[in-house]
Structure 1
Amino acid sequence: MTFRMRAARAADLEPLYEMAKLTGGGFTNLPADRAALGAKLERAEASFADTEDGLKDEQFVLVLENVETGAVRGTCQLFTQVGQQWPFYSYRMTTLTQHSQELDRTVRAEMLALSTDLEGSSEVGGLFLHPNERAGGLGLLLARSRYLFVAMHRKRFADRILAELRGIIDDRGGSPFWDGVAGRFFGMSFQEADYFNAINGNQFIADLMPKHPVYIAMLNDDARSVIGLPHPTGRAAMRMLENEGFAAEGYVDIFDGGPSMTARTDNVKSIAGSVPAKVSGVDLDKGEKVLVATGNLSEFRCSYGARVMLEDGTIALDSQSADNLDVKPGDTVWSVER
């Protein structure tokens, strides 16, 4: 396979913009706006250039590149500490239990409470694979490369990590959840609010969103039925997150009601299972299937490969992955079981 993940750069703006136009909306981290995407790439460039370790408010953008053609066919993002520029809002699903002795009846009311509980967490997001490349495990490479990046730069990430999955979007590009909840207060369509959030941030939520809990029983059927559900195209992503150790713990997106999944960073399977080793050879014929990565910050690269861990602690790689990653004997790589 001739694909690899690498750090994004300014020249990737146009392919990112073309992919953003294919998302179908509700994809806040990849807006179809050149200026907003350019700002993301500038911020990522500054993060990649900062060599001082430590937890700060940074953003990293990675892209999936066809090594043979140079074409960019996918992207993903990492945020080291959310909620620093503006509050990071979620709805938290809670239950209020009340009892009447006169009626001898207990009533449990489910509610959505506006919350900033997830503030300060790291986040993996912005994952998009070009529709023409959705085969051969490239989605898995996109998703899991982020965890190798975290493992290789662990001091720059928080102890809790989250992933937001896009919620249900209808055929017209609207959100039943938005229409049933926030849309009633803002006088904006879902598309308008989602685009405004992607470009300007969500401070307007703090300004206008009612602070009192919303009783789920008072929502219409369409809104109730999509709470906590991922978009159909995100079901595979949800399974991958669950396989990594993420769990849905009652937090949902304030715009589309999609699930927010969380994990302890050090417990994420691909982070806990990744190991560094020096390369002793690059001509392996057969070996264990792995993801393998190398390079610090802007030099980060990740690809599929095959490995054999040797008794002396070094690693032997197949020639294809060595070529994809431009590594040679003596270089250090990180790898994890595929």
Structure 2
Amino acid sequence: MLVVRPIRHNDYPTLHVCAEESGHGFTSLPVDEALLHERIEHSVASFSKPVTEPDGEGYLMVGVDSETGEMAGTTAIEASIGGDVPVYSYHISKIIHSSQKLGIKNVVRLLTLSNHYAGCSEICTLFLRPAYRQGMNGKLMSKCRFLLMAEHPERFSPTVIAEMRGISDEHGKSPFWKWLQDAFFHIEFTHADHLMGIRDKSFITELMPKLPIYTNLLSREAQAVIGKVHKYTVPALKMLQKEGFVCRDYVDIFDAGPTVECDLHNINSVKNSLRATVAIGQVGNSDFLISNTSFADFRAVATKAWYDAESNTLFVNQETLAALEIHQGDPVRLLPM
């Protein structure tokens, strides 16, 4: 059974492996020892911090195989982004150029540098190692964040976003970055990607073009990938779209991957989750995501259970109780699958 819990200091070695396996474009999990240790430290402090409103906390969690103790992947929430480090994106808009005399009308897209999502919560760092990409594991790693947010909404912003990885090849080269590189930055995408991962964004302010950019001046290759996601990110995007997330025409400034957003209270897994009392009993054949109601000691699993609506009781087995570190009669938050 996979159990999601807050990361610990001794999880660093496998977190580093996850960072290496995640590949280029995964800026929230850089292959940098100091930064990874910093993320762990910040998460440990955030989970133990009393909070009444979001203020830069970062919650990094891991999925752990309950039988082997091996880390299967990571998932995270940033409570409020853009405070200490600016969060940049391009906004896509349209402008019409027309001449009645010549009978010509052109609709042209513009890219405008924006800091629109400052203060929003962000779900990020979702990575599942290849050996564990099966069964309910992917849904657990993604949706457990919504169980946490539903149970503790005061810790998060009313708007939740996710930045989706844009298109790049197996060597980490991005068609969208290529034109930026040639015209403004003169550094490789992997270098820029690394600087973003280690939160060194000063070069963006110094070198990024400040005026709106006409997309028809970009190469055809760059234009073609605007708002598109990496092939490995397609399942994650589809899952978020089913949750109610939509793109409001904001894209990443390096690989042009879309940013999607949803109001916290409108996320389907938040709306459809509920609290119940847990008991040991016949579990039936229905799939559930289940979490305890603790924050500092958050635990979540995907398993078979049976929910009795009349008594508002969720029946599970002893293994599930042990995984969630709770006892019979305790409250849980559940999401029918």
Is 1:247–1:262's contact at 8 Å kept on the other side of the alignment?
yes
Q: Pairwise mapping of residues 46-125 of structure 1 onto structure 2 (< 5 A)?
A: 46-125=45-124
User: 1:163 Cα shift?
Assistant: 0.6
Q: Pairwise mapping of residues 1-338 of structure 1 onto structure 2 (< 5 A)?
A: 2-181=1-180, 184-279=183-278, 281-286=279-284, 288-305=286-303, 306-338=305-337
Structure 1 pair 155–182 and aligned structure 2 pair: CA distance change class (3 A) = farther
Residues 269-300 of structure 1: per-residue CA shift (max 9 Å, x gap): 00111111222x22323153210001422200
Residues 108-154 of structure 1: per-residue CA shift (max 9 Å, x gap): 11111111111111100110000111111211110001111111110
In the alignment, the residues of structure 1 paired with residue 125 and residue 91 of structure 2 have an alpha-carbon distance, to the nearest angstrom, of 22
The one-letter code matched in structure 1 to 2:284 is K
Residues 196-222 of structure 1: per-residue CA shift (max 9 Å, x gap): 111133232122211111111111111
Unaligned runs of 5+ in 1: none
Moved segments of 4+, more than 4 Å: none
Structure 1 pair 298–183 and aligned structure 2 pair: CA distance change class (3 A) = farther
In the alignment, the residues of structure 2 paired with residue 3 and residue 283 of structure 1 have an alpha-carbon distance, to the nearest angstrom, of 21
In the alignment, the residues of structure 2 paired with residue 171 and residue 266 of structure 1 have an alpha-carbon distance, to the nearest angstrom, of 38
Is 1:55–1:156's contact at 8 Å kept on the other side of the alignment?
yes
The one-letter code matched in structure 1 to 2:294 is N
In the alignment, the residues of structure 2 paired with residue 250 and residue 268 of structure 1 have an alpha-carbon distance, to the nearest angstrom, of 19
Is 1:181–1:219's contact at 8 Å kept on the other side of the alignment?
no
Is 1:181–1:223's contact at 8 Å kept on the other side of the alignment?
no
Q: 2:321 aligns to what SS in structure 1?
A: helix
In the alignment, the residues of structure 1 paired with residue 76 and residue 200 of structure 2 have an alpha-carbon distance, to the nearest angstrom, of 17
Report the TM-score, using the length of structure 2 for normalisation: 0.96
In the alignment, the residues of structure 2 paired with residue 209 and residue 239 of structure 1 have an alpha-carbon distance, to the nearest angstrom, of 31
Counting aligned pairs with the same residue, the percent is 34
Is 1:26–1:194's contact at 8 Å kept on the other side of the alignment?
yes
Is 2:181–2:188's contact at 8 Å kept on the other side of the alignment?
no
Question: Bigger CA drift: 72-81 or 176-185?
Answer: 176-185
Is 1:73–1:129's contact at 8 Å kept on the other side of the alignment?
yes
Q: How many residues end up aligned between the 2 structures? A: 336
Q: 2:260 aligns to what SS in structure 1?
A: strand
Residues 44-82 of structure 1: per-residue CA shift (max 9 Å, x gap): 111101023222111000100001111111001101111
Query: CA RMSD, aligned part only?
Result: 1.4
In the alignment, the residues of structure 1 paired with residue 126 and residue 253 of structure 2 have an alpha-carbon distance, to the nearest angstrom, of 19
Is 1:287–1:308's contact at 8 Å kept on the other side of the alignment?
no
In the alignment, the residues of structure 1 paired with residue 205 and residue 295 of structure 2 have an alpha-carbon distance, to the nearest angstrom, of 34
Q: 2:184 aligns to what SS in structure 1?
A: helix
Is 2:184–2:208's contact at 8 Å kept on the other side of the alignment?
yes
User: 1:86 Cα shift?
Assistant: 2.0
Q: 1:150 aligns to what SS in structure 2?
A: helix
User: 1:182 Cα shift?
Assistant: 5.1
In the alignment, the residues of structure 1 paired with residue 79 and residue 182 of structure 2 have an alpha-carbon distance, to the nearest angstrom, of 30
Structure 1 pair 230–258 and aligned structure 2 pair: CA distance change class (3 A) = same
Report the TM-score, using the length of structure 1 for normalisation: 0.96
The one-letter code matched in structure 1 to 2:73 is G
In the alignment, the residues of structure 2 paired with residue 99 and residue 105 of structure 1 have an alpha-carbon distance, to the nearest angstrom, of 5
Unaligned runs of 5+ in 2: none
In the alignment, the residues of structure 2 paired with residue 263 and residue 297 of structure 1 have an alpha-carbon distance, to the nearest angstrom, of 23
User: 1:316 Cα shift?
Assistant: 2.1
In the alignment, the residues of structure 1 paired with residue 308 and residue 33 of structure 2 have an alpha-carbon distance, to the nearest angstrom, of 44
Is 2:176–2:221's contact at 8 Å kept on the other side of the alignment?
yes
Is 2:76–2:123's contact at 8 Å kept on the other side of the alignment?
yes
The one-letter code matched in structure 1 to 2:111 is L
